[in-house]
Amino acid sequence: MPTEWERSNEVIESVCRALNGDPTNLDLASRYWMALGDKRDGRSVIAAYRAAALASSVGVAAFARAYRELFDVSGESPRLVYFDTALIQALQRNRSELPRTDRENVQWILRSIGVAPPSP
């Protein structure tokens, strides 16, 4: 009989495979993010939400909320090492379209990685 840890890893792997097949699917990204539980870190935010953030402002908002959640739970701030130019540009480009809380989360991410948000 599989242990709880083994069952958890099977769920994570299954959702990860589905997300790899449809990387902009926010439902799958959220399921993957939730399945990770206490295994979440900055790399997993990128793995779950990067493609969605590149694709839409809704994806950017989800990405920013996940990073804020990670920080609130673990204290882990965004680190530049996880961000490429395309992702930074997507955050900058979509920031102004977001509701206030999501926009503030994006600004926090950009400041945390040492990138000044563009002027409004």
Question: Does residue 40 lie in a domain region?
Answer: yes
Give the ranges where 1-120 is alpha helix by DSSP (H). Answer: 4-21, 26-36, 42-55, 57-74, 85-94, 100-112
pLDDT band at 120 (very low <50, low <70, confident <90, very high): low
Tokens of 83: 């961000």
Residue 67 has pLDDT above 90, yes or no: yes
pLDDT by residue (tens digit) across 89-117? 999 999 998 999 999 999 999 999 999 75
Question: Does residue 117 lie in a domain region?
Answer: no
Question: Does residue 10 lie in a domain region?
Answer: yes
Question: Does residue 45 lie in a domain region?
Answer: yes
Number of domains in the chain: 1
Residue 1 has pLDDT above 60, yes or no: yes
Using CA atoms, how far apart are residues 44 and 83, in angstroms rounded to an integer? Answer: 12
Tokens of 100: 């206030």
Domain that holds residue 22: 4-112
Question: Does residue 73 lie in a domain region?
Answer: yes
pTM: 0.91
pLDDT by residue (tens digit) across 20-35? 999 999 999 999 999 9
